[in-house]
Amino acid sequence: MTHASHELSPEAQIEILEQQLEHAQRMATLGDLMSTTTHEFNNLLMTIINYARLGLRNRDDATRDKALGKILSASERAARVTSTVLAVARNRSHTFEPTDLVKLIDDTLVLLEREMNKYRIAVEREFESVPLARANGNQIQQVLINLLVNARQAMPDGGRVIIRLRHDPQDNTVLLMIRDTGQGIAAEKLKQIFDPYFTTKSGPDETGKGGTGIGLSACRDIIEAHQGRIRVESTMGRGTAFAIKLPVATSVSSPAAAVITTPSVASSPLHPQ
């Protein structure tokens, strides 16, 4: 009598490796978020503490009202930061559902705002009215974080990131573009950037991010799993643009947002691209 083999088939082994890789990518994303948001949360706590002290020291209503307003604002921001990080940590769903990309982008920028300000990166939003996309919000947020951190790293002396959203009715997709005014990528390297483990970076920067080459390859895999497309254009000395197309959630026809063009505060004047 023969015993059934306990060895896994090559297909099963590949599936296990893919699951392990996805878990490692999630942990890397969470690690980046914790590194960024720990500093942000500490700053918010110091704001709350300082204005609480101000309110306790001063008896006049105007000063106390100002202090309470600042405390409330900082507390609400802290709650939004923590809820966004917890959502990333808890959401392990692989399902695709109608997703508001405007909200997803705004939540991601909340997590990265301190980092962008620190490196004097102005973020500009150019959002047209778009329908909800068929997407896994957690996975698309990983892509956003990766692309935005890459853009920041490409501009060590400051610059601009332009995020655009528009609807392409011809193929019924939502187009998301992230453009930076950074150093650009050489033509001979551009065709390799989605290859596994290829990187244009010498290693992690001072924040500990970058250098493995796994990020853009993972981004491409996520977008293709969404039946979407990702492409890149770059010019040395002028910057890089990543364009992502995601299918529209067919069960939803109402727009997710009105036209919005809102530049964030820049730490220094920047020349337009």
What pLDDT digit, counting tens, does each position of 20-60 carry?
Answer: 766 666 666 666 666 667 777 888 889 999 999 999 999 89
Q: What are the backbone angles phi and psi of residue 95, rounded to the nearest 5°?
A: -80, 155
pLDDT at 204 over 60: no
**122 or 195, higher pLDDT:** 122
Segment among 17-21, 176-180, 229-233, 240-244 with least mean pLDDT: 17-21
Please state the domain extents for the chain: 10-90, 97-263
pLDDT (0 to 100) of residue 25: 63
Helix (H, G, I), strand (E, B) or coil at 234: strand
Q: What are the backbone angles phi and psi of residue 19, rounded to the nearest 5°?
A: -65, -40
What pLDDT digit, counting tens, does each position of 155-200 carry?
Answer: 999 999 999 999 999 999 999 999 999 999 988 888 888 877 666 6
Contact criterion met (CB below 8 Å) for 260 and 177: no
Match 């939502």 to its residue by tokens: 174
Helix (H, G, I), strand (E, B) or coil at 24: helix
pLDDT over 90, % of the chain: 43
| Burial of residue 65, with CB atoms counted within 10 A of its CB: 0-12 exposed, 13-18 middle, 19 or more buried | exposed
Domain 10-90: which CATH number of 2.40.50, 1.10.3470, 1.10.1740, 1.10.287: 1.10.287
pLDDT (0 to 100) of residue 151: 94
What pLDDT digit, counting tens, does each position of 101-117 carry?
Answer: 999 999 889 888 888 98
Q: Domain 97-263 in CATH: superfamily?
A: Histidine kinase-like ATPase, C-terminal domain (3.30.565.10)
**Most confident region among 177-186, 197-206, 210-219 by mean pLDDT:** 177-186
